[in-house]
Amino acid sequence: MSAHKTTALVTGASAGLGREFCRQLAGSCEVIIAVARRAEALHALAAELEGRAEVHCVEADLASVEGVARTMEALRQQGPVDYLVNNAGFSTYGGFGDLPLEGQRQMISLHIDATVTLCRAAIPFMRELGGGAIINVSSLVTMAPGKDVAVYGATKAFLNYFSQAIQQELAGTGIRVQALCPGFTRTEFQDVMGSYGFDKSRVPDEFWMDTEEVVRESLAALASDDVLVVPGE
C-alpha cells in the first residue's frame, strides 16, 4: 500500500477564497482536490499549480445531490483528506419576502447540507490519521444580523454553531475546526452581489481585504484554539 499523501479538498475552488486556499495549501499538501462548477477555471488552476501539487479537478454543483455525490466519490478515491475547506457559497441580496424562494433553498443546500455531508465523510478518516483541519467559510455578517441577507446570514450562523460544537466533540483527536468569518473581501462574490443591487462602491477602501490576507490568517489560526476566526481583527 502506498504511503499517505497530504491531501486537501477545497470547494468553490475556481475563484476567490477557494482558489487562494488551493494556492497556499499547495505549499504543504501533495494533493489538492479542487471542486467547483466551472471546469475551465479548475483546469487553469491545475495548470498554475503544476509542479507544486497534484491537482484533481472535480466539476460539481454542491447545491445538487448529484454534485455532492460526485464530490464524495472523489474524496473516497483520492482521500483521506488532511484539510477540508468548505468554501463554496453565494448570496442573493434583497428582502426575503421579495426574492424567489428557489435561490434561498439553494443557499441552504450549499452552505449547510453540503458542508455537513462532507464533514461527516471526512472526520472518521481524520481520526484514523490522528488529526486534520476543517475550515468552514462563514461570514462577518453573522455578528450583526441585518436586512437583505436573511437566509445567507442564517446559513452562515449555522456554520459558526456547528463548527464550535464539533470542535468540542473532537477535543483530543488532533482535528482542528474553524469557522472563518471574513468581512468584505475582493472576490467575484461581490460582483455577483452587485447584480442584485449591492453597491460595493459605498464600502470604504479600508474595510476591504484581499484573498491572500484572509487565507493566510485562516491557516495561521489553525495553530490556535480559536474556532471563530475574523481576519483583520
Q: Which residues are catalytic?
A: 152
Beta-ladder partners of 83:
8, 133
Beta-ladder partners of 185:
209
**CB–CB of 181/140 below 8 Å?**
yes
Query: How would DSSP label each residue in 128-169?
Result: HHT-EEEEEE--GGGGS--TT-HHHHHHHHHHHHHHHHHHHH
Q: Quick one: how many helices (H) and strands (E) in the chain?
A: 8, 7
| φ, ψ (nearest 5 deg) of residue 97 | -75, -10
CA 8, CA 229: separation in Å to the nearest integer?
20
Beta-ladder partners of 32:
8, 55
Give the HSE-up count for residue 147: Cα atoms under 13 Å, Cβ half-sphere.
4
C-alpha grid cell for residue 206?
Answer: 479600508
